[in-house]
Structure 1
Amino acid sequence: MYLNVHSWYSLRYGTMPVDKLIEEACARGITRMVLTDINNSTGVMEFIRKCRKTGALSPIGGMEFRHDKKLLYIGIAQNKEGMKELNEFLTEHNLQKKDLPARPPQFNHAFVVYPFSQVNTELRQNEFLGIRSTQLHHLYKKDISLIKDKLVVLQPVFISGRIEYRLHEYLRGIDLNTVLTKVDDDDKCLETDQFLAPGELEAKFSEYPFIIGNTHKLLDQCHMDYPEGRVRLNRKTFTGNRETDRIQLEKLAQEGLLYRYGPDNKEAQKRLEHELQVINDLSFCSYFLITHDIIRYSMSKGYYHVGRGSGANSLVAYCLRITDVDPISLDLYFERFLNEQRTSAPDFDLDFSWDERDDIQEYIFKKYGSTHTALLGTITTFRDRSVIREIGKVMGLPKAEIDSFTDRTKELENRDNATYKKIMTIHGIMSDMPNQRSIHAGGILISEEPITYYTALDLPPKGLPVVQWDMYEAEEVGYDKYDILSQRGIGHIKQAVRLIEENQQQKIDIHQVRGFMNDRRLNERLKTGDTTGCFYIESPAMRQLLSKLRCDNYPVLVAASSIVRPGVASSGMMTTYIRFHHHPEEVRYLHPVMEEQLKETYGVMVYQEDVMKVCIHFAGMDGSDADTLRRGMSGKYRSRLEFDRLTDRFFEGARRLGRPEETIREVWRQVSSFAGYSFNKAHSASFAVESYQSLYLKTYYPIEFMVAVLNNYGGFYTRWLYVHELHNAGAKVHLPCVNHSDSAVNVKGTDCWLGFIGIQGLENKLIQLIPKERDQHGTYLSLENFVKRTAISLEQAIILIRLGALRFTGKNKKQLLWEVHTLLGNKVKPVNAAELFQIDKKQYQLPELTVSPLEDAYHELELLGYPLSLSMFGMLKTSFRGNVMARQMNKHVGAIVRMVGLYVCEKTVYTKNNKKMWFGTFLDARGDFFDTVHFPDSTPSYPFRGAGCYLVEGKIVEDFGYPGLEVRRFAKLEIKSNPVMD
């Protein structure tokens, strides 16, 4: 009887999760109903799957089609083919950005139900009119013979009671970006749009039994004939034949084994054969071959890639060059990626340069077909402080009051505020509800069947079709994703290698990483934390960790890449690992099993594999359950009931093996506190490989490397710091010049010319035009020649003159400003060819005009964001540079000192008492880093006041040999006045 049921996937409209819908229906004895969310089929597969588990409710898939606020019609699938028809209908209009029509096309396997208001519509055989019980009076004493067989019961379901109706109103207010009082009746559902008590709906239609009969007849014709149980839906073969796939994968793997290990490596050969057998048995040959095909294409185009994730545990992946991580040397076990007990879908994470990923994605779509390929979606939820802000806006609260409610430091003050209490009550109900559909960071699905059997597709701004559910649902439905990701670090490496070849005529094989790992110079740099610009190891936290560990080799770097993760420090495991790394004789293992399994990491669970080892060997769990438990702790498993069951199994298994109760609880504390933040070892190893590649380039080709970092949008820090590093590398850094600069930074020998990108206010068309015109028609000869050839406006010319980009003329800025105002008094037309006669413009005698370095620095600060002619220290009013420099801090541990630092970055954290504290990073006048800690009780409520130099007074402390400054007093220093303003 319920043909129009909505879950919370009717975004910002419906209120009930699928589980609750089913629970409410079963409680009322409902045995069949149709899920028809608004303009999406996100929840249909979940609905079918969960209804089948109850055994009491027959699920039917469908969709409600709306345009703006208007209900057009409801589509109800008769079967799997009908669901495909509905999905394809919506997909066509989404992808082509067309409005939904007033009438859909003829469906062969789906019914259409129009609202009763469209009673004049001439109905096809598969079309019906849905009538609400409140509309039955329209039938009174009317001739309904023409529509009698077409009338069905329409009882929409959006909510489950009065509280959810109020929640629905808030959702509508958020969706419409308006206050509650302005949410019209047409904008929301009726308070009666919910499941009725058993028998109540039939009673409302008791005088029209034929309508009830029509409804039952329609439902009787619907059967969702999707296969039961998890069926893998990925493309089943690469070559078109499974046996051919097996042969081809084995051939490629054996060729790769020879490339990676040379001939006669029996250990590698034995493992390779084992992996190939498991891959074939589990029907994963096509998955490996498709991934290899993606890599083959990228390498044919000269692209760089990094293979990460659990796939790096596979020797076959290493031999196919999907990854550059050697699983044998790192003792990575294949079972972490793929084993006979694993039910979850494994995947490869493939990183490409940010400017090459789009081409990779387009290749995949062309190769495997648009009907079988789609990007993976994601569903953002209402959560955190942003929800409070949204609710406050709907309530019509002033901004200042909303801001006070979102300030964590004011929670105690707000606790007794009635409005705040109301907001937090709504927040608690709304929290984790779906809010918007979006795109997964890089997941792609390649399907055997047309993907529209299982979902409709959206078309976000990226321009490629996206499924309407997330990675968790994809896994439940039966899809293994391919992660095609992008990152700046690969762009740094790729361009640096190219620049080295162009600037120094040297070719670099950046993939010979084994040699890099044994390079003394690289490891010395690693040990000191001198890693600015290097992928994953340049942040303050990582730089400090490398120094504390005195990390000078690849295995320790792999561990560091894992323990630097958020949450590890708060658990105490990072400190424990560092201490035991320096003093392994102090390790006291909780249990002999812990020593046996975790000796490499001093008893600390550094990797996800370590968590699994403990679950298997300490608590007697099997590999599948251990992996599921680990995934549950990291937020990648959605069944709370299943997770709780596995938690109980951990304790029961450990007790059954006779482990002491106190030890069990401490082991569990360590497992649960770390598992949610750790990487798998292969993931960390992949990051460490790329870190070594960056480190090699920074050490031996620092100028080209830093230019590549700048041209690929930097890394962790802001742009000026990388310009500073370019100076430190021995480059002569020049301000932009119209006769030398390109759009991006260029390098010739040791001369580096900043590009036009990054100049505040300079139009993009000029950024491209200036170097293009110069390359085509020769260097600019004068200001007048430049103006004529570019047709630049007065405003844009002034920007370039103030930055010194026309200094080639030999005239200073003030002289050029006089001249450009004279030139551009009238509109100047561009000259696209050399002039036949060049007539010199009349020259005027100007008074002496001078420009000071301080004035130049102010121009650069305004237009670049940092000064180049004069350092920020040179702009200070004071000559004091601190009584201790960064390199001297270790000699003054415990002393109260005053230091002057140039602000680099900060990090805000909250204490257990919800008070703010900060970590700061600065450069001293010599260009060396030092780090500060700002505790809540000794620091102003917000100590940082933007870029500039600060005077910092505090106590020097030391942690594993790494010095820091505990701040007591803190003030931003004044700079000299702009001469122009005096």
Structure 2
Amino acid sequence: MFLNVHSQYSLRYGTIDIKELIVEARAKNVHQMVLTDINNSTGCMEFIRLCRKAAFDQEDADGKLIPAYDIKPIIGIEFRRDNQLLYIGIAKNKEGMKELNDFLTHHNLNQLPLPDQPFRFNNAFVLYPYGSKIDLRENEYLGIRANELNKIAGKPLLNIKEKLVVFHPVTVKNKLEHRLHKYLRAIGLSTVFGKLTESDFCQEDEMLISEDELVQKFENHEFILANTQQLLDSCCMGDYTFGRKNKHNFKNSPKEDLALLTELAMKGLAYRYGTNNVDALARVNMELKVIYELNFCAYFLITWDVVRYAMEEKGYYHVGRGSGANSIVAYCLKITDVDPIALDLYFERFLNHKRSSPPDFDIDFSWDERPDIQNYIFKKYPNTALLGTMSSFKDRAIIREIGKVLGLPKSEIDSFTDPSKGHLHRNNPTFNKILAITEKMKNMPNQRSIHAGGILIGEEPLTYYTALDLPPKGLPTVQWDMYEAEAIGLDKYDILSQRGIGHIREAVQLVLKNKDISIDIHDFKTFKTDPKLNAQLRAGTPIGCFYIESPAMRQLLKKLECDNYNTLVAASSIIRPGVASSGMMKMYIESYHNPKGVRYLSEVMKEQLGETFGIMVYQEDVIKICCHYAGLDLADADILRRGMSGKYRAKDTEFDKLSKRFFTTAKSLGRDEGITKEVWRQVSSFAGFSFSKAHSASFAVESYQSLYLKTYHPMEFMVAVLNNYGGFYQRWVYVHALQQTGAKVNLPCVNCSYAVVNIKGDEVYLGLIGIQGLENKLIEIIPQERQTNGNYIDLEDLIKRTYLSLEQSLILIRIGALRFTGKSKKELLWEVHNYLGNKTKIIAGKELFHLPTKEYVLPNLDNHLIEDAYQELELLGYPITLSMFDLLKTDYRGDVLAKDLEQYEGKIVKMLGNFVCDKTVHTIKNTKMWFGTFIDSEGNFFDTTHFPNSSPIYPFRGKGCYLILGKVVLDFGVPSIEVIKFAKLPIMDNPVLITDSKPLKQKFT
């Protein structure tokens, strides 16, 4: 009888979770209801699945049996325009739901408002609120509320009698939640709570009541009850099944797919391993068998096709990473560049018969090439959409939202969200009220968004399962997240992007253009044994290189004296917070430097973890130990690993069985019980934050590729880093690194610069895109016009050809972009005011005769390098003419330089450093401490530690040079400064400040 039920997926409207909805239905003896969330079908499949699950006996949290309960799930959509109810669509069956989803999708994708009347549906009913429509189609009904029955009393119903059905919307669980609903509405409408009107929120009786109670409300109108029951009986969702829903075949059948996959794998096998590698062949055949049996051939082939398109048709570079790198078939298909045999990677970590959730490939492309890859997939494969995500309300965000709804001032809201001030508000009734609301709203769905890179390719139209949204990216997106996709049976393809790939791609192009040298960037086998690359690793100087340039990673590389690929792979894993905070990172470094001192728990541990000195560094190590020490097969070992991880940790019968079997099988193999307990402790404590070795290995490959370019073609590489933005540090750090390569870095110039940084020989010009305040259209027009009609002759020529305004002219003059004229900035400023000062618009078109502007005799105008540096700071964010050290009022540069720090271990030193970055961390006592990174006057990096007792007294104050007093400490031979005192140094005053155009003539006369 409940034809209009809202869940929390009616965002900022409904308050009931779908699980709670089913519990409430059981409690109220409700056996059928229609889930109709507002303008979405997010919860429909979840609703069907959970209702079916409730039809079987289950155990509660305490292991007690919950009797089965039969609920007939029916699904639909409530359609609203401008927050006003238009009509409700109710699906008769799977085809009907597709019709409703297609209708909503059509309007979403074409950004059309919903019409007053929907399409003609063949397999769906339409329900209008009573009084809104008279002329009804065969499948259309009028819903009447119990409190509206007086409107039909004593009236001839004529042709609408058979069209009237029970309308009892369900939105909240109880009266308390109705209050919560009103807060949600205020948030959704961006209004103050007190300004809500009755039309903004649902009626107070919109709660789930018992079927008997609802029937009683309509007992004098049995024909309405009969109409309603007839409608419900006409609906059945039995044609919905859950299982593999991905595109089934790449070609015409599974066997054809297997034949093609085998052919490609064998061709790749010869390329990767030669023609006589028996072990590799056996591994390929084993994987192909599992892939075919699990119906994953099409998944592999579609991924291969995407990579093939990128490499062969477009020349794009990619990185295949994640657990997919455990597959030798993926390696042979060039999906990944990680050799699973060389690294002892288990295929079972990626795919096995016992894996309950589907795996996926993570394929990274350059940030500016990914859109083309996405378009290729959408054009080639029908039934494709981006994967969505669902963001939820979080603690501080809720406090802010409710604070706004209550009309509180920003300062008060800020104090409520500050954890350190929580104790000050304990007796504040407003604060306690907000906390009570926060507790109710916490983790409720808030808004739909887009997954970072997930793409779904279905065998049948995805609108059988969801309507599609059109977010800002402009591609159809499903209305649920990866967990729902997994439950339905859709495996995602992760097509991701990162700036690091852009660095590599553009550097290779620049080297070819600037030096006429072609680079095979996939020649990783050569790179990893190159002594020059490994020397850079060991020195910890990989600025600009993906993943290994951060302060923490640079320090770790130096502590490990890392000079090989395998150690870099390990470093990529042990740097992760969980491993580092557990003490395992320190233990690994100690063992690395003293391998003879390592004590292994057993011979098996030594055999399996010898490479990592008995320490579990990777997820694969957990699998190894469960398999080789405890005797579990690889598939069960992976299930055990997943069951221990934070992502999957939960009550699981299969996990419980396997954890018991770990001990029983270990005992049957003769393992010592005490050692087994310790092995289990290590396995279970590490598995929760372990990292995939395949993932680390993929990152390490990319790091080596960056290192190769930085080592042999440093100028081109740093230009590529600048042009692709991204990276760990601010832009000036990479400009500084470019200068250190010997490149002559020039300020932007209208006759030499392009939108981005360009290089010719060792001459580099910064790009126009880096000038703050310069309009985007000019960034494009200036180089385009120059390339079409030649260099600019002077300021007047530039203005006439690009239609520069006075404001934009001032920016270009002040940054020095017109220095080619031979005139000083101040002369040019006078000239531009003379030319544009009284003009509002430049007249378009070429002149028939050129009339020179009047020349003036100017007084002597002083120019200051310091003034130039100030203007560069303002317009670029960093100076080029002078360094930050040159701008200091003092000539002092510190007593010690970064390169000599090791000699001063344990001593108090005074240093000068240009601030690069800082990182805040929390101690065990929940106090803050900081780590800082600086560059000394010679351009070398050094690091500082700021303990809680000194940090508040000597805080970081942003960009600039600092005087640092501290003690030199060595950690595994790597120096840092434990700060005692710390102060930012003043820079010289700007001799002349030109901030606006009005007083210019007065200043110059």
Question: What TM-score does the superposition give when structure 1 sets the normalisation length?
Answer: 0.96
1:431-450 pair list within 5 angstroms: 431-450=442-461
Question: Residue 62 and residue 388 in structure 1: after superposition, are their counterparts in 2 closer, same or farther (change >3 A)?
Answer: same
Structure 1 residue matching 2:949: 3-state secondary structure: helix
Q: Which residue in the other structure is 2:659 paired with?
A: 650
TM-aligned CA deviation for residue 594 of structure 1? 4.0
Tell whether the 8 Å contact from 1:789 to 1:830 is kept in structure 2 after alignment: no
Indicate whether 1:264 and 2:276 are aligned.
Answer: yes
Pairing partner for 2:75 from 57, 61, 69: 61
Describe how 1:541-940 pairs up with structure 2 within 5 A. 541-590=552-601, 594-616=605-627, 623-624=634-635, 626-628=637-639, 630-631=641-642, 634=645, 636-637=647-648, 640-642=650-652, 646=655, 649-650=658-659, 653-654=662-663, 657-658=666-667, 670-671=682-683, 673-827=685-839, 829=842, 838-940=850-952
How big is the shift at 1:677?
A: 3.5
- The verdict on how the C-alpha distance between 1:418 and 1:623 changes in structure 2, with shifts beyond 3 A counting, is farther
How far apart are 1:702 and its partner, in Å? 0.2
Q: 1:343 to 1:913 in 2, by over 3 A?
A: same
* 2:545 aligned with 1:534: yes
* 2:1001 corresponding residue in structure 1: none
Match of 2:114 in 1: 100
> CA–CA distance in 2 between the matches of 1:588 and 1:576?
12
Offset of residue 346 of structure 1: 1.2
**What is the DSSP-based 3-state SS (H/G/I as helix, E as strand, rest coil) of the residue aligned with 2:962?**
strand
1:86-130 C-alpha deviation (Å, 9 max, x unpaired): 110100000011111111111111111111132x42122211111
Q: Please list the CA deviations of residues 924-951 of structure 1 after superposition, one character each: whole Å capped at 9, or x if unmatched.
A: 1111111122222221178122111112
Structure 2 contact 16–173 (Cα < 8 Å) conserved = yes
Judged with a 3 Å threshold, the aligned counterparts in structure 2 of structure 1 residues 13 and 295 are, in CA distance, closer, same or farther, namely same
Instruction: Indicate if the aligned counterparts of 1:409 and 1:915 stay in contact, CA closer than 8 A.
Output: no
Q: 1:631 to 1:410 in 2, by over 3 A?
A: farther
2-side partners of 1:406 and 1:438: how far apart?
Answer: 25
Residues 835-864 of structure 1: per-residue CA shift (max 9 Å, x gap): 665454442221111211111101101110
Shift of 1:813: 0.7
Helix, strand or coil at the partner of 1:40? coil
1:812–1:850: 8 Å Cα contact kept in structure 2?
A: no
Q: What residue is the counterpart of 1:200 in the other structure?
A: 213
Structure 2 residue aligned with 1:16: 16
Partner secondary structure for residue 276 of structure 2: coil
Contact 2:640–2:659, Cα closer than 8 Å, also in 1: no
What secondary structure, in the 3-state scheme, does the structure 1 residue paired with 2:275 have? coil
Q: Secondary structure at the match of 1:979?
A: coil
Write the distance in 1 (CA, Å) between the matches of 2:884 and 2:843.
39
Please state if 1:179 is matched with 2:192.
yes
SS of residue paired to 2:857: coil
Match of 2:958, SS state, is: coil
Say yes or no: does 1:249 pair with 2:256. Answer: no
For residues 910 and 85 of structure 2, the distance between their equivalents in structure 1, rounded to whole angstroms, comes to 69
Q: In 1, Cα distance between the equivalents of 2:726 and 2:284? A: 40
User: Is residue 2:314 matched to residue 1:301?
Assistant: yes
Relative to structure 2, which stretch is displaced further, 313-322 or 421-430? 421-430
- In the other structure, the counterpart of 1:35 is 35
Task: Give the alignment partner of residue 483 of structure 1, picking from 494, 505, 510.
Answer: 494
Structure 1 segment 155-234 matched on structure 2, within 5 A: 155-197=168-210, 199-228=212-241, 230-234=242-246
CA distance in 2, matches of 1:628, 1:381: 29
Shift of 1:640: 3.8
Residue type matched to 1:76 in 2?
Answer: I
1:20 maps to a residue whose letter is E
Give the direction of change, closer, same or farther, for the CA distance of 1:660–1:527 in structure 2 (3 Å limit).
Answer: same
Could you tell me which of 493, 504, 511 is aligned with 2:504?
493
- State the 1:81 CA deviation: 0.5
Does structure 1 retain, via aligned residues, the 8 Å contact 2:52–2:71?
A: yes
How far apart, in 1, do the equivalents of 2:879 and 2:375 lie?
42
* Unmatched tracts of structure 2, length 5 or more: 56-69, 995-1005
1:714: Cα distance to partner?
A: 3.6
Q: Determine the C-alpha separation between the residues in 2 that align with 1:406 and 1:674.
A: 34
- Counterpart CA distance in 2 for 1:396 and 1:221 is 49
Q: Is the contact made by 1:571 and 1:673 (CA closer than 8 Å) also made in structure 2? A: no
CA contact (8 A) 1:311 1:349 kept: yes
Query: Is contact 1:938–1:968 with CA below 8 Å preserved after alignment?
Result: yes
**Contact in 2 for aligned 1:655/1:661 (Cα 8 Å):** no
Distance 1:103 1:350 in 2: 44
Summarize deviations over 1:482-526 as a string: whole Å, max 9, x none.
Answer: 111111011111110010001001000000011000000100100
The answer as to whether partners of 2:643 and 2:655 remain within 8 angstroms in 1 is no
Partner of 2:46: 46
Secondary structure of 2:202's aligned partner: coil
Residues in 1 aligned to 2:729 and 2:444: alpha-carbon distance in whole angstroms: 35
| Contact 2:98 2:464 survives alignment (8 Å) | yes
* Distance (Å, rounded) in 1 between the aligned partners of 2:421 and 2:629: 45
CA distance in 2, matches of 1:891, 1:924: 16
Moved more, 180-189 or 272-281: 180-189
Q: CA RMSD in A?
A: 2.2
1:326 alignment counterpart: 339
Segment of structure 1 superposing worse, 734-743 or 152-161: 152-161
Residues 1:646 and 1:422: Cα distance change in structure 2 (over 3 Å)? farther
Structure 1 range deviating more: 515-524 or 20-29? 20-29
Q: Aligned partners of 1:917, 1:398: CA distance in 2, in Å?
A: 31
Confirm or deny that 1:285 pairs with 2:297: yes
- For 1:12, give the aligned amino acid: R
Report the CA distance shift for 1:739/1:302 in structure 2 as closer, same or farther (over 3 A): same
Alpha-carbon distance in structure 1 between the residues aligned to 2:344 and 2:3: 56
TM superposition shift of 1:955: 2.0
Letter in 2 for 1:116: Y
Range 735-744 or range 914-923, more displaced: 914-923
Residue by residue, what CA displacement relative to the aligned partner does 1:198-236 show, whole Å, maximum 9, x if unpaired? 6211221222222222222111111113344x4111111
2:431 aligned counterpart, secondary structure: helix
AA at the equivalent of 1:314: S
Q: CA-to-partner distance for each residue in 1:666-688, whole Å, 9 max, x for gaps?
A: 65664455434433111111111
Q: Structure 2 residue aligned with 1:71, among 79, 85, 100?
A: 85
| Alpha-carbon displacement from aligned partner over 1:406-441 (angstroms, at most 9, x marks no partner) | 223334444554443333333232222111100011
Aligned-pair identity (%): 62
SS across alignment from 1:937: coil
Q: Does 1:381 align with 2:392?
A: yes
Counterparts in 2 of 1:201 and 1:613: CA distance versus 1, 3 Å? farther
Deviation at 1:633, TM superposition (A): 5.3
Amino acid at match of 1:610: D
Q: 1:437 to 1:137 in 2, by over 3 A?
A: same
d(CA) in 1 for partners of 2:6, 2:674: 49
Amino acid aligned to 1:24:
E
- C-alpha distance in 2 between matches for 1:97 and 1:661: 66
Q: How far off its partner does 1:755 sit?
A: 0.9
Other structure's SS at 1:938 match: coil
Partner-residue secondary structure (3-state), 1:36: strand
Between stretches 752-761 and 660-669, larger displacement belongs to: 660-669
- SS of the residue corresponding to residue 936 of structure 1 reads coil
> In structure 1, what is the Cα distance between the partners aligned to 2:848 and 2:122?
74
Query: Equivalents in 2 of 1:402, 1:607: separation in Å?
Result: 44
Which residue matches 2:327?
A: 314
Q: How far apart in 2 are the matches of 1:161 and 1:572?
A: 50
CA contact under 8 A between 1:545 and 1:560: conserved in structure 2? yes
Indicate the SS of the match to 1:449.
coil
CA distance in 1, matches of 2:961, 2:314: 46
Aligned in 2, Cα 1:672/1:132: closer, same or farther, shift over 3 Å? Answer: farther
Distance 1:633 1:404, change over 3 A: farther
